[in-house]
Amino acid sequence: MGRKVTVATCALNQWALDFEGNLQRILKSIEIAKHKGARYRLGPELEICGYGCWDHYYESDTLLHSLQVLAALLESPVTQDIICDVGMPVMHRNVRYNCRVIFLNRKILLIRPKMALANEGNYRELRWFTPWSRSRQTEEYFLPRMIQDLTKQETVPFGDAVLSTRDTCIGSEVCEELWTPHSPHVDMGLDGVEIFTNASGSHHVLRKAHARVDLVTMATTKNGGIYLLANQKGCDGDRLYYDGCALIAMNGSIFAQGSQFSLDDVASRVSPYPRVKADFALSCHEDLLEPLSEPIEWKYHSPAEEISLGPACWLWDFLRRSQQAGFFLPLSGGVDSGATACVVYSMCHQVCEAVKRGSQEVLDDVRTIVNQTSYTPQDPRELCGRILTTCYMASENSSRETCNRARDLAQQIGSHHIGLNIDPAVKAVVGIFSLVTGKSPAFAAHGGSSRENLALQNVQARVRMVIAYLFAQLSLWSRGAPGRLLVLGSANVDESLLGYLTKYDCSSADINPIGGISKTDLRAFVQLCMERFQLPALQSILAAPATAELEPLTHGQVSQTDEEDMGVTYAELSVYGRLRKISKMGPYSMFCKLLYVWKDVCTPRQVADKVKRFFSKYSTNRHKMTTLTPAYHAESYSPDDNRFDLRPFLYNARWPWQFRCIEAQVLQLESRQHQDLDGVD
Scanning 161-302, the segments in alpha helix (DSSP H) are 184-190, 209-223
Question: What is the number of alpha carbons within 13 Å of residue 254 lying toward its C-beta?
Answer: 18
Q: Is 368 helix (H, G, I), strand (E, B) or coil?
A: helix
Query: Active-site residue numbers?
Result: 45, 114, 175, 332
CA distance 543 to 138: 63
Give every strand in the sheet of 40-42, ordered side by side. 7-9, 40-42, 83-92, 95-104, 107-113, 155-159, 138-142
DSSP 8-class letter at 232: E
Tell the burial category of 108 from Cβ atoms under 10 Å away from its Cβ (0-12, 13-18, 19+).
Answer: buried
DSSP 8-class letter at 54: G
Q: Which residues 6+ apart lie within 8 Å of 457 measured at CB?
A: 502, 548, 550, 551
3-state DSSP of 605-646: HHHHHHHHHHHHHHHHCHHHHHHCCCECCCCCCCCCCCCCCC
Please name which of 653, 668, 656, 642 lies closest in space to residue 614, comparing C-alpha atoms: 653
Please name which of 45, 39, 165, 32 lies closest in space to residue 110, comparing C-alpha atoms: 165
287-292, long-range: CB within 8 Å, 24+ apart, which pairs?
287/3, 287/4, 288/1, 290/4, 292/4
CA distance 96 to 106: 24
The continuous run of DSSP H or E covering 197 comes out as strand 195-200
CA distances from 179 to 175, 325, 568, 680 (A): 8, 41, 36, 54
CA distances from 404 to 410, 411, 419, 463, 538 (A): 10, 10, 10, 22, 12
3-state DSSP of 276-310: EECCCCCCCCCCCCCCCCCCECCCCCCHHHHHHHH
For Cα atoms 471, 473, 476, give the angle at the middle one, nearest 5 degrees: 80
Contact between residue 339 and residue 514 where contact means Cβ atoms under 8 Å apart = yes
Q: What is the DSSP string of 142-166?
A: EPPHHHHHHH--SEEEEES-EEE-S
φ/ψ of residue 142, rounded to 5:
-80, 115
CA distance 228 to 41: 10
What is the identity of the amino acid at 63?
Answer: L
Tell the burial category of 554 from Cβ atoms under 10 Å away from its Cβ (0-12, 13-18, 19+).
Answer: exposed
Its sign, for the CA torsion 642, 646, 652, 658, is: negative
Contact between residue 501 and residue 507 where contact means Cβ atoms under 8 Å apart = yes
What is the identity of the amino acid at 231?
Answer: N
